[in-house]
Structure 1
Amino acid sequence: MASDLSGRMDEAEAKIADLYRLLLTKIDLATLNSLQQTINTRLDASDTTTSGHETRLDTLESLYINLSISLSDLNSAFTGHTGMTTGQGVHGHT
């Protein structure tokens, strides 16, 4: 009877150990899932931020080009020439 009880205790301990391992596995899977969701959320936020920066950079580039064109136009109006070289020197001399 004592050995039967001992066998049952060993069996119960093994089942508890298996349940403990299973519980740890499920907790780990739940933790991994939560971490994956957090990582995905942060990556999405990073992508959104990067897209915003790219849009702003494109806008800045466009503004710079327009400013450059405007300055060139103003320079032409002020100096009377387009700034284009014709191969001629000062006063039309080569």
Structure 2
Amino acid sequence: MTEKLSEETRGPLLKPLFDTGWSLVEGRDAITKTYKFDNFVDAFSWMTRAAIWAEKWNHHPEWFNVFNRVEVTLSTHDVDGLSTLDAKLARKFDTL
């Protein structure tokens, strides 16, 4: 069972993500990042790769795509906030 991040684990798990462009969503326990690509095909290709990992880990992002930009928001609905799954998926997305 996934648990909401504790105050003790938030810093160590989230700080490296903030260093790569992730930020907290105002008014919500979630993180967000906007990825920019050269064109629509590159953005959609990234989304396809990201979707495979999201499905594999059964943890699905909220995202929005326009042309070469993909806005991603991560939060774990089962715990109504951030969990280790969000940090794990964010790190994976950054490597794609």
What is the TM-score normalised by the length of structure 1? 0.27
The structure with higher relative contact order (CA 8 Å, sep 6+) is 2
Larger helix fraction of residues? 1
**Larger Rg, first or second structure (1 or 2):** 1
Larger strand fraction of residues? 2
What is the TM-score normalised by the length of structure 2? 0.27
